[in-house]
Structure 1
Amino acid sequence: MSSVMESIDVHVPVHTAYNQWTQFEDFPEFMEGVEEIRQVNDTLTHWKVKVAGATREYDAKITEQRPDERIAWTSVEEPKNAGVVTFHRLDDDHTRVALQLEVEPEGFLENVADKTGMVKHRAKNDLKRFKEFIEERGGETGSWRGEVGRPDER
């Protein structure tokens, strides 16, 4: 598995950045290669993506979601991937969005893309486009403030 970590500071409050990230169906607006996401239920999304020229569809399960803090997920089947995005309040109007991805490339083209740093490059550019998307709007397109997988000790 290949690991990627990227972050970006956005000029919106933490709740605005978090709320927007819960709007999975808007991801094609700022994520390269994401053609469609359908929210099946509170914890399941269906993705249609283009990776190294090949279209793939898969389901991803949200394993943890804490408002204004973090969203973690893992794919249910191939292609295997998992990740977490965390939201860090810098001040009332600025938030650091940190993304960590674990991706298992499938096939020759995806392995070449991984080895040439394409996954890292794509993640970095997706965060830049998220910044532009949310800052230009000045607000989120919607929100889901529910919790998933909250630890017992909280």
Structure 2
Amino acid sequence: MSTLEEHVDVDVSIDQAWEGIHQVESYPRFMEGVRDARREAPGRAQLDVEAGGQTRQFEAEVADRGERLMHWHTTAPDLTGSFSLQPLARNRTRVQARIEYDPDTIRETFGGPKGFAQANAIERLVRSDLEQFKEYVEQGR
């Protein structure tokens, strides 16, 4: 398994950032490749993701764990991750994304490069998504 951790500092309160992370229906606005996202039931979300020229549906289990920590997991492909929020000041929050993935599974599911090039592509995607999230929450959704 590989682990990726990235973070972004946003100029909103921790409560505003927390609310933004929980707005599943807004994921297409800041997550590249997500075409549709909806909450199916408490703790479950359905994501339509376009990758490699194909759209695939993923079901995610989502749970709040502890203070300002949201954990998520998909089973096909097997991905696990979390978003954690840390207050930096009254209206400044650090949003940290952590993703655990098997590089071979990612390549089989989404296509793309192998090895170091794949890790770089995933890092760029997560960084870009976090920057898009920053714009999303700072503009007041």
Question: Does 89-98 or 44-53 show the bigger shift?
Answer: 44-53
Q: Hey, what does 1:110 align to over in structure 2?
A: 111
Q: Hey, what does 1:129 align to over in structure 2?
A: 132
Q: Hey, what does 2:88 align to over in structure 1?
A: 90
Q: Between the two proteins, what is the percent identity of the paired residues?
A: 26
Aligned residue identity for 1:50: E
Once the two structures are TM-superposed, the CA of residue 9 in structure 1 deviates from its matched residue by 0.3
Q: Hey, what does 2:73 align to over in structure 1?
A: 74
The alignment status of 1:52 with 2:52, answered yes or no, reads yes
Instruction: Classify 1:106/1:74 alpha carbon distance in 2 versus 1 (closer, same or farther; 3 Å).
Output: same
The structure in which a higher percent of residues are helix is: 2
Query: Do the aligned partners of 2:77 and 2:109 also contact (CA within 8 Å) in 1?
Result: no
Once the two structures are TM-superposed, the CA of residue 113 in structure 1 deviates from its matched residue by 6.3
Question: Does 10-19 or 108-117 show the bigger shift?
Answer: 108-117
Which structure 1 residue ranges, 4+ long, deviate > 4 Å from structure 2? none
Q: Hey, what does 2:15 align to over in structure 1?
A: 15
1:21 and 1:11 map into 2 onto residues whose CA distance is 14
Q: Hey, what does 2:34 align to over in structure 1?
A: 34
Partner residue of 1:119 out of 109, 122, 126: 122
Once the two structures are TM-superposed, the CA of residue 98 in structure 1 deviates from its matched residue by 0.3
Structure 2 residues without counterparts, runs of 5 or longer: none
TM-score (structure 2 length as normaliser): 0.87
Instruction: Classify 1:73/1:101 alpha carbon distance in 2 versus 1 (closer, same or farther; 3 Å).
Output: same
Q: Over aligned residue pairs, what C-alpha RMSD do you find?
A: 1.9
Structure 1 residues without counterparts, runs of 5 or longer: 142-154
Question: Secondary structure of 1:46's match?
Answer: strand
1:84 and 1:24 map into 2 onto residues whose CA distance is 14
Question: Secondary structure of 1:127's match?
Answer: helix
Once the two structures are TM-superposed, the CA of residue 51 in structure 1 deviates from its matched residue by 2.4
Number of residue-to-residue matches in the alignment: 136
